[in-house]
Copies of this chain bind each other. A is one copy, B any other.
C-alpha cells in the first residue's frame, strides 16, 4: 500500500532532519528537484512543504542560491485584536455591559502626549465595564479624539460599547499595543471586585487612521484573565 506523498509528510520530515541536526544551521539543503526525487513526489509538493517551513522561519530560501537552514530562526507570532463582546461570547458566557461615565473634556497631559494631541483638542472620555456571566471581565477607560471622530459625540454608548462602536465607525490603519501587569488602584479594584493592589492584566491600545490619532484605550482584566495565541 504505497502511502501517497504529502506536503505534510515532507514538511515534517525536513523539520525532523533540521531538529535532529542532520542538517545544521546555515547548511544548504538539497534542492527541490532532488528532494522531490527522494520523496517520490512532484516538485510542486516539495515546494509547498518548503514554503511552509520558510514561512515558519525554519529555513531561508533564495532563487538560484538555494535553501538553507536558518541560522537564527527569528520568528513572529500573531494575536487577534479582540472585540470584547465576541471574546466573551466565544467562551460561551453571557455578555453584559455597563457605561460608567462619558464626559467631553480635554485629555490630561499624559494622554495628549501619547496621542500627540494639542492642548485644546476636544476629547471624549468614556469609562465602562464589560461583564461575562455577571462577573467583571474588563474595565475599559478610553479617550477618543473628537477632531478625528466627531460622530462619536452622537454615539449612544449605552446601547453599544465604545469598543464596538469604533470598530464599526472608525477604521484605523495603525495600532500600537502594550501589555503589562499592574496593581489595581482603589477604583479598579472595586469595579473588578478585587482586593486593592491585586495584580491586573493591562492592555493598552492606540490607533491611528493614517497620521491621525483616533483613540487610546486602557483595558484592565482580573488576574484570572489569559491572553492566548498560537503561532
Contacts and interface: CB of A to CB of B under 8 A. Distances in A.
Contact of A179 (B15, B169, B201): B201
A200 interface: yes
Copies per complex of this chain: 2
Nearest to A184: B199
Given A19-B170, A72-B83, A200 B181 contact: yes
Contact of A230 (B83, B177, B179, B202): B177
Contacts of A167: 72-73
A181 B178 contact: no
Interface stretch (A110-118, A134-142, A221-229): A221-229
A175 interface: yes
Contact of A73 (B57, B171, B228): B171
A223 B180 contact: yes
A7 to B, nearest CB: 12
A168 interface: yes
| Residue from the set A58, A73, A77, A209 with the largest chain B CB neighbour count within 10 Å | A77
A56 B209 CA distance: 11
Contacts of A180: 201, 223, 225-227
Interface string A1-39: 000000000001001101101000100000000000000
B73 A76 contact: no
A80 interface: yes
A199 to B, nearest CB: 3
A202 to B, nearest CB: 8
A183 B168 contact: no
Interface string A199-214: 1111000000110000
A126 to B, nearest CB: 19
A78 interface: yes
19 contacts: A16-B210, A19-B171, A21-B169, A53-B173, A56-B173, A75-B175, A76-B78, A76-B81, A77-B78, A77-B79, A174-B230, A174-B231, A175-B231, A178-B226, A181-B201, A181-B225, A182-B223, A197-B197, A199-B199
- Listed from nearest, the 3 A-B pairs whose CB atoms lie closest are A199-B199, A181-B181, A181-B201
